[in-house]
Structure formats: structure tokens, C-alpha cells
Structure 1
């Protein structure tokens, strides 16, 4: 191994949300399943491979997906459940290296250069990750391996679904040459169209083109684009920093015009983020409420708790005051989106036996225990139930 050689793995769960649903509901297996917002403003979060055959894809408006796949099964996402599965997946990553850069709940880069001596070749480590994810979640992951992030990600993409592929530096130019330029991570629609106008459609054509000719159309980014087209990428895997905030929000198909319903959603969000904070052993002091009026006018209101907390009721009481103050200031209050976040974290502190909030902590602990055993959302406070009419 050369002194500066790196070994990077990219892991991407296959159709993550849809796969979790099909795992937990066997009757959905083999069916075109679309997970996302179901109302007129809804967007597809992800879909099963059966649905992709109809042309459905993530980020597509749900209304368009229904036209393409009218007989599909449409479900709202259960983010709390997906987060639980994601935590088990990331546990696998951290068992092979501390250098994990999470891109989303279901995707990450891992630098395993320092793990080779202990765990074996990059293929051995990649297979270990893939097998462990299946054993713990019964879900398939696509694993790509390479000497840099670009090639590792392309390797996983090219081998999906349930993929396992390595692109070595010596073969990079050959494997990349026929791929469309739009597959490069810095090439958006505008740059892709500019390249097409120059007659450049593949990475091989981009790598072999005259730099001066390209510069007149693309400017300073030409050298970087051509390096990527050759498979060169010097980006490092950046391990996740300490969590800065935990939040939850929801966009409504029908604008909220009743304060009581807004308060119910606020409580639901506070329960969710407080549970996540407790799972991580964190307590926060800053509560932020996000309020969006139709069509896209967004307001934020922020306040400090008297002491760091991970109690849903502590968060809710402060957030409710912020919501009410905003609501009263509006002539015709309407909400398209409502969200809450907790920040200003400190490690969970030892509790005073005579602390007046002890009863709230016991309630939270009971709720955590039941939801852990029977699934997220099995036990909620009565004030949350009104929101389930909109699920």
C-alpha cells in the first residue's frame, strides 16, 4: 500500500423507506410502493424498484407519480421508524472505522484505510458491512469501494440494487469513460447542458477534451471537472461533528387555521425530538419554533429553557408560548408548515432526587420503554391524537 493511498467505502441502502415498509409488511413485497406526501403538495420520498419501472422516482410530485403508477401503493413516511433502523446501520459502520461521514439516514462514506491491518482487505471489510446490515435489519445495502469518494460512490451506484463493486485506480478511466457527464457530483443541469452544447456527453469525452476550448464555456471549473472525469478526487471523509440540533417539522396538505390543532402538532414534534435527545444522552437549552405561512413566508421564534432538558413537556410549554405569541400577532393566522428544534446541548446531568421535574422524567421513561418495545408512536400523550386524523 502506497503511503498516501486511501481506501474508501460508500454504503447506500436500497430504496430505504420503501424497503423498511416491505420488510415490516410482507403483503407489500413485490408491489409498486411509493412513500411520500400524499396530498396535493406531496413529494415522493422514495419508492420500491417495482415502482421505478413505471418511471417513478424520488423528489417527483406525488400527483405525477399517481399518473404514472395509478395502481401503486402510497404510504406516508414513518420517519421515527426509519431513524431507528438507521441507527442500527450506522452502528455497523462505527464497528469498522471511526471515520464515518453520514450523508443521510441511509447513506455514508467510510474511510477504512486504518482498518485494513486489523480487519483485512477493503473487499473483506465491505462484505462484513453488507452482511452485518442484512443480519441486523434484513435490508439490502449497496456497497461501493474505491481509492476516493467519487469512485466509491459510482461503484455503489453502478451495482445497485444489492450491489457490491470496487473501482480500482488503474481501471477508473476505463470504467468512467462511457458514463454520462451528469453522473459527476459537481455537474448540475446547467453545466450538463453546457457540455452537451459542446458535444460532450460522456466522462471519457470530457477527460479528453481540450481544456482551453472548455474554459471558454465553463470558466474556472474546467480543470476540476476534467480531474473528476479521470477519476481523481481529493476530498476527505469528514466524520460527523457533534450534533448541533434535533428537529421535527411537517408540511400540511391543508393549511392549519385552528390554534388547537397547531398545538397538537407542536406537542407531537416535541415528543419526537425529546425522545431522540434522551436516546443520545443529551439535554438542550434552546427551543426554536419554525412557522411557515402560505405560500412560503417563514418565521422563526426562539427562547431559552431555564435549565437544559430533554423533557417533552418542558420543550412543549416553552414552544407553545412562542406559537401562541405568533398566532395572536397575525390577523389571519395560517400555517403551511410547523416545526420545532432543540439545540444548545449539554451532556445529560445527574438528577437531584428532590427535583420537581422528577414526575415528568418518569413519564418520559415509561413512554420510551413502551415505544422501544412496541414501536415508535405506540404510546403518545392524549394531546397528540388529534394530529393522527391527518396522517
Structure 2
């Protein structure tokens, strides 16, 4: 089946009620007919559900869909995107290991890597996303995992997954890719050699700003270790949120098609605007990694970013003059969202750290929604005129 069909038709077995839509299984635990069945479940000799921190039919359905869409062998769903990122790190990295990451990453991920991983004796170093030649030189004898976002948040730098996949295989290193911005309908990192793929399902996968969720998919043996870690430490996805996210996947393909179409039209229109230093979108010919983007991505995604020439003051004026676009701490919504990364998602970074990953004072990130493209553009243009 095509991926869009898998997102709709992958579901748990119907109950005796023969429902068409999957029901919600809002239960903390599950019963057994006898002591032997219960023993077998706790001994991992059966696939029976035990406790919703371990597994739940709604969570299983959502995870199975994500596994199918990404072309993975297994998966585990978590309470948020950050719990997916952290769970993948902590389940597979130990004291003395080295994590090699791109420097352009989400602010909370940067905090986890810089502030918390060293507490467990895990070393780290960064490679600039726009310097592909530096990756192999940065590998150490104790490098256990390479972690990247592509496209990156918020600068939309694109990293060559085929190159990293070959490099990780050569050095026997786990390649872990955050595919949140692209979604499985934009790119499939496993096809290029990724061992793990993580998502904040809160974003495009939900698509309507309703629930939190995360998911990790990848090689079976790695997912098993992540499952053991997460079932003991507790970052489980709730059955209700899993039900919402599973239903959301049924429309992800058509939503991302519209998001990407709107985003490309907006980026094309804004390019060359007198008040902007640059406009960045992976499928613009002017994007520094355009050739890589069109090689590994099916579309350019739903994020556009641009730099206002007036810097910090102009950036704030732009946001304050928007009339329709939302100012909120999220992306991937049906509603278009504008944010100022330097003062929000990446505010915890130092000025030097922000500059090193091209987060300038006037950088604006637009999560392009599903409104009519003319209305989105009209709001952006009138706000630019007043900035």
C-alpha cells in the first residue's frame, strides 16, 4: 500500500462491537483470564497489554502507523517530542560515550545535550550544519551516536542524509535523525541510512495544536532498549493523545501537500523584498543546500524563515503588527504562526551561540498554515510595511 493508505488503514483489530473508527482504550491496566497468562505477559512471552505505561491499543496503533510511514522495524511513542529525544539519548548512551550533533538544533535539545548529558558522563561536540566536510574529522573513538535535525530549527539548513548514513555505517555509529520539520511525507531518513528517527508529534503530525506527543522509530534492537528504558522511567504517551494523533495521521499527507504549497508560494513572493536580508526555504533555488533538499525531500515542508534588515526592533515590530498570524510557542498548526527564535525558542542560548547557528536578532520563523495563501501573504506583507 502507498504510505497515505497505510496512514488510514493501519489499525488495531476491531472489538466485538465491530466499530469502524478505533475506540479509545482509556484504562491504566489490563486484566488476564488466569495466572499463567499474566505470568507469560510479564515474562515477555506474549504480546498482551499489561499496563498503559508499557503499551496500550491506542498507542500501539499510532506507533504502528509511524513505523509503517518511516519504513522502520519498530517504535515507541512518548509523552512529548523532547521525551522522545531524551529517551533515545539515555537508553543508548552511557558514561564515557560521545554524542556528535549538528549545532543547529532546537533550544531544548541544546539544553539537554549541553547541561544534562555531561551529568551522566556523556561527552558531546557540535558540527556546523553548513560544513559537511567537518563531520568525519569530529568523530572520536568513543563516538556512539550522531544526532541531526534536517531541515534545522529554525534556520532551515539541510544536511545530506546520504553522506551521514554512509559515514555512520563506516564508523559503526548510530545515526539518529529528528524528522519533525519534514514529516514522513517529506523525507524518510531510514532510506538514507538512519538507524533512528524521532518526532515531536505535537507539531505537523497532530496538525491542529491540540495535544502533546512524541515517537521514536528505527531498528528493532535499538527500539527494544529504548522501550525498556522508557517503560521503567515513564515518559509514556497517553491513550487519548495517541488516539488523536493516530486519527491525525490519516490526513497528514494532504495537509503537508497544502502546507508546502503555501510555504513555497510565500517564500517565492517574499524573496527580494526590500526590508528582508534573505528568505530561506529548502525548495527555493537560492537556498544554500537546495540540491541536497530536492535530492532527499519530496517537498520543502511548511516552514519559511527570513531576516529583517532592521534587526531586533524590526522583528518585534513585525510580530506586533500581525493581524491574523498567531504568536504562540508551537508550529505545524492549521493556523499560521510567527515566532522570533532569538527571544523565544532559542533565548537560552548565548548571543555567541545563536550567531554561530545563524539565529540573528531579526530572524523570523513562519509556520505556514492551511489558510488561503493570499490571506497569509496579505498579513505578512502589511506587517513588513510597518516594520
- TM-score bucket (shorter structure): under 0.3
Structure with max Cα Rg: 1
TM-score, length-normalised on structure 2? Answer: 0.24
Q: Which has the higher helix share?
A: 1
Higher RCO by CA contacts (8 Å cutoff, separation 6 or greater): 2
TM-score by length of 1: 0.24
More strand per residue: 1
